[in-house]
Amino acid sequence: MSRPDAVEIGQNTTLEIWTKRSDNYTSSPLTLVVSYKQEGIVDGPDSVTLHGGNKSTVVLYGSGAGRTLVSLSCPNNTDNDTCPFSEGYLGGAQREVVIAHSLPLNIIIAIVGWIYFAVWTISYYPQIILNFRRRSVVGLNFDFLALNITGFLCYSAFNVGLFWITPVQQEYFLRHPAGVNPVQINDVVFALHAVAATSFEIFQCIIFKRGGQRVSYSGLLIVAAMWLGIFISLFVSVGHKLSWLNYLYVLSYVKLAVTVLKYFPQLWLNCKRKSTEGWSISAVLLDFSGGVFSVLQMFLLSYNYNDWPSIFGDPTKFGLGAFSILVNILFISQHYIIYPKRKRKKKYEKIETSSTISQDEYTPLLTDTDETIKTTINGTTDKKRRRTLLKYFA
């Protein structure tokens, strides 16, 4: 059975059906039952007649947005000896049919996806560059980094599993038969890059000035509890008590918890120091923009295929984008409103004299004619003391 092209609502797509070989069982016409996994997505015939050695075409009309499985089966009264499914003669017994609101919208969805990927990817570099310029990581919270590396390791595993591992994908579509895979290639690349960038920031914390900063005991406790839960879930999955898709969901929930928790240590550090110095505002603005584009892509994808449950099929991606928007609004408020960068006072101010200053203003406070200055103490004139006083009052 051929793979039908994706079409828009109101358009037709076709399925071509054939047998792999022609023999006594397939030489006579055979009527096959056509069934549809989800109703309201395509309209087509309930049966198709298959002739041995010839192709039969099934025309399907897109009536609603979404995806469905079109399956072929033999009627109940068909003898097993004459049903091609018993011998595996058919070139695939089911195919997925995808109907979209708009095919050009898929291009926009892909562009938005790569925009958020680029913005979120670039967002790591302002902090890395700032650390290099200052040769210091003072102001960058270490709890944030410990949580961040944990979260992105989990997020990478979730994306790789759902995007590349076929058994996991099959299990996902059994739960969401009319849905689309919420993980795109840009999600996978972004997560793997985030692991590398965060690891490099941790390396910077080792080689640059830290100012006595370290991961707090509460941060260590939280991270340790997360890894304990990850390994326990892994052993349960290996023992076939937890499906691999559910294990990936466990990892996604860990990432979601990290996303909720990781920003608060940095927010609190900014409050304690009453400053955002050492925390790159450029990274915050890029992270905010990436969150907006990430959520936008999910909504466009859900609209185009009428697949709103898929937003919650990937709670990590949606939660990551939505929460990053909210928390970055707080960082932006801290930087520009609550703790604005104060103008540094000049260490020395140059006093310029004007030609209009009166002669009296030029008269020194201490003169050579002053009898108190001319007095001799221990045989030494007080001119040296006068110069010292003048330097003091200057």
Q: In terms of pLDDT, which residue wins out, 63 or 376? A: 63
If pLDDT is split at 50, 70 and 90, which confidence band does 28 have? low
pLDDT digits (tens, 9 = 90+) for 306-335: 887 777 666 666 777 788 888 899 999 999
DSSP structure string for 86-103:
GTT-BS-SEEEEEEES-S
Residue identified by tokens 């890029």 is 286
| pLDDT score recorded for residue 227 | 96
| pLDDT score recorded for residue 33 | 76
Residue identified by tokens 């936008």 is 296
Is 80 a residue whose pLDDT tops 80?
A: no
Q: In terms of pLDDT, which residue wins out, 117 or 111? A: 111
Average pLDDT over residues 171-194: 82
4 φ, ψ (degrees, to nearest 5): -75, 150
Contacts of 354 (CB under 8 A, 6+ apart): none
Share of the chain above pLDDT 70, in %: 74
Q: Which letter, b or e, does each residue of 290-318 get, where b requires 16 or more Cβ atoms within 10 Å of its Cβ?
A: bbbbbbbbbebbbbbbbbeebbebbebbb
User: What is the distance between the alpha carbons of residues 22 and 24, in angstroms, rounded to a whole number?
Assistant: 7
Is 49 a residue whose pLDDT tops 50?
A: yes
Q: Which of 51-60, 169-178, 357-366 has the lowest mean pLDDT?
A: 357-366
| pLDDT score recorded for residue 108 | 93
Share of the chain above pLDDT 90, in %: 28
User: What is the distance between the alpha carbons of residues 154 and 13, in angstroms, rounded to a whole number?
Assistant: 39
pLDDT digits (tens, 9 = 90+) for 277-291: 888 888 889 989 988
CA angle 23, 26, 31 (to 5 degrees): 180
pLDDT digits (tens, 9 = 90+) for 198-230: 999 999 999 999 888 899 999 999 999 999 999
User: What is the distance between the alpha carbons of residues 175 and 281, in angstroms, rounded to a whole number?
Assistant: 41
Report which DSSP code applies to 380: B
Average pLDDT, the chain: 79
Is 292 a residue whose pLDDT tops 80?
A: yes
If pLDDT is split at 50, 70 and 90, which confidence band does 84 have? low
Report which DSSP code applies to 377: B
Q: Which amino acid is at 212?
A: G
